[in-house]
């Protein structure tokens, strides 16, 4: 079966979902073994995985853009599922990923161990162009993988997270593809980012957390760098951009 071809939802009884969640039984998602934990995987996400819906627009966009030899910079590792699957989409792909929530790191490491993933590295930090502070306040969300620098009604606590200069990372790593899902912080990061090395971007935008001016600044930055939307690869809140020289 081709990765991310259309397929029927898994017909799993609701009670079995509950038992899988409580027991921590791993679940398969397009050939990736995903560890299950009540502490780090909210029950609704387990259902999305089983129903073939978890981060589907982002993954379909990446499938249409990623090429052999790509150097992929990911902002927002989350549960590690997206980068884990992208790591298998083409040959000789290398992924450098950054995750703000430290509690997710053991879960990501376990996913990498279960799937023998060695071409993805993960660092605990937020990327920001030319930061003026070494740390930033981060709001832990009720659903751990949806934490943000912005407070929401689902925020439960705050922590201080390290900040790394995005443009220094770009200069060192020279990514060809950017995958960005950072719960509204894209309006802080993208407008001042060095996008010059990129051939493509997979960007999830969060209108409920972003200002209209911030959204415009994000799109202006991409267009100004010669990166234009691939409409056929963009769905819901995920926009795929590709360079046109």
Task: Provide the residue ranges of all domains of the chain, joining segments of one domain with +.
Answer: 53-243
CA distance 188 to 137: 14
Domain 53-243 class in CATH: alpha beta
User: Strand 227-229 to strand 177-180: parallel, antiparallel, or no bridges (unpaired)?
Assistant: unpaired
pLDDT exceeds 60 at position 132: yes
Confidence tier at 131 by pLDDT (50, 70, 90): very high
What pLDDT, in 10s, does the model give residues 46-91?
Answer: 889 988 999 999 999 999 999 999 999 999 999 999 999 999 999 9
If phi > 0 it is left, if psi is from -120 to 50 it is alpha, else beta; for residue 181 that is beta
Average pLDDT of the chain, as a whole number? 89
* pLDDT tens, position by position, 17-43: 677 677 778 999 999 999 998 778 888
Q: What is the mean pLDDT of residues 172-181?
A: 98
- What average pLDDT does this structure show over 198-218? 94
Confidence (pLDDT) at 91:
98
Is the pLDDT score of 1 beyond 50? no
Angstrom distance (rounded) from CA 138 to CA 108: 19
Of the two residues 156 and 92, the one the predictor is more confident about is: 92
166-175: average pLDDT:
98
Report the pLDDT value the prediction gives residue 41, as an integer from 0 to 100: 83
The predicted pLDDT at position 6 comes to 45
What average pLDDT does this structure show over 140-144?
A: 66
Q: What is the DSSP string of 132-165?
A: SSSEEEEEEESSGGG-BSS--TTEEEEEEEEEEE
84 vs 54: CA distance, rounded Å: 13
pLDDT, residue 221, reads 98
């Amino acid at each position: 079966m081709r990765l991310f071809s259309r397929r029927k939802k898994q017909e799993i009884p609701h009670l079995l979902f509950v038992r899988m969640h409580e027991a921590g039984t791993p679940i398969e998602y397009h050939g990736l073994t995903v560890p299950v934990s009540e502490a780090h995987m909210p029950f609704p996400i387990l259902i999305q995985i089983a129903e073939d819906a978890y981060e589907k627009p982002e993954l379909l966009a990446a499938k249409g853009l990623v090429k052999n030899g790509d150097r992929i910079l990911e902002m927002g590792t989350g549960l590690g599922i997206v980068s884990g699957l992208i790591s298998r989409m083409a040959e000789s792909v290398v992924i450098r990923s950054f995750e703000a929530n430290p509690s997710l790191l053991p879960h990501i490491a376990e996913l990498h161990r279960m799937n023998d993933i060695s071409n993805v590295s993960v660092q605990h930090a937020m990327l920001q162009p030319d930061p003026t502070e070494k740390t930033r306040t981060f709001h832990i969300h009720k659903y751990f993988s949806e934490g943000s620098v912005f407070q929401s009604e689902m925020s439960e606590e705050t922590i201080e997270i390290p900040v790394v200069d995005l443009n220094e990372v770009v200069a060192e790593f020279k990514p060809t593809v950017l995958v960005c899902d950072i719960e509204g912080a894209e309006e802080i990061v993208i407008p001042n980012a060095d996008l010059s090395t990129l051939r493509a971007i997979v960007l999830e935008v969060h209108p409920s957390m972003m200002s209209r001016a911030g959204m415009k600044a994000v799109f202006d930055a991409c267009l100004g760098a010669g990166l234009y939307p691939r409409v056929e690869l963009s769905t819901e809140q995920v926009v795929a951009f590709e360079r046109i020289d």
